[in-house]
Amino acid sequence: MRSERTHVLLDLDGTLSDSEPGILRSLQWAFDKEGFPIPTKEQVRSVIGPPFEIGLPQIGIPDDDLERVIDRYRERYATIGAFENTLYPGIVEMLDALSRDGLSLSVATAKPEVTAHPILDYFNISDRFAVRAGATLTPDRRAKAEVIEFALDELGISGDPDLGDHVIMVGDRDHDVLGAKRHGIPCIGVTWGYGDPPELLGSGAVALADSPAEVVDLVHDSYRLNHW
């Protein structure tokens, strides 16, 4: 192995898969059913990643109506929208390459586990991950930092004083970077998802990857960068 990295945590939406079509259609359907103006594609794209409790108020849903709109969204998403979804080109090859290098791979997504697990099963990649950590439908595990904490606990490494040396996060939004930073873990930002380079670099990403193949090299190079 070319570095001291032992674990890679991977985001799901915007990192492993392009989930935008299903999220877009399901949110537009929910807004319409609940009597709110239908959001544009650009508005929906801006809220993919973080929990909807954070994003939906930014595109017109009052706090008092959040639970109702989210429940309506889940009606469609759970059975239809979750599978209007594709893996990005090169993802399977990236997972294979990281595994060949001896790295343990886990998913850490703010998407609820009740939908994240079926999506990973749908793509037939569940068995590639040591842990598949997602959010709960209750308030105890919703933020990205909480999901990462759960993943580290499941991996049995949450007490490692050198987490930043051994673990790295890969994600496409600032909440991936900031959630990892809460645990002293560096994050590689990917540019093919729903964030952009200024967002990722501004939140502290250690490097940017323009393709899944580039992630493989950066996982190892990031150790060198951390110890420059």
- Catalytic (active-site) positions: 11
Phi and psi at 208, nearest 5°, equal -120, 140
The 3-state secondary structure of the chain reads CCCCCCEEEECCECCCEECHHHHHHHHHHHHHHCCCCCCCHHHHHHHCCCCHHHHHHHHCCCHHHHHHHHHHHHHHHHHCHHHCCEECCCHHHHHHHHHHCCCEEEEEEEEEHHHHHHHHHHCCCHHHCCEEEEECCCCCCCCHHHHHHHHHHHHCCCCCCCHHHHEEEEECCHHHHHHHHCCCCCEEEECCCCCCHHHHHHHCCCEEECCHHHHHHHHHHHHHHHCC
Residue 127 to residues 16, 88, 117, 118, Cα–Cα distance (Å): 15, 18, 11, 12
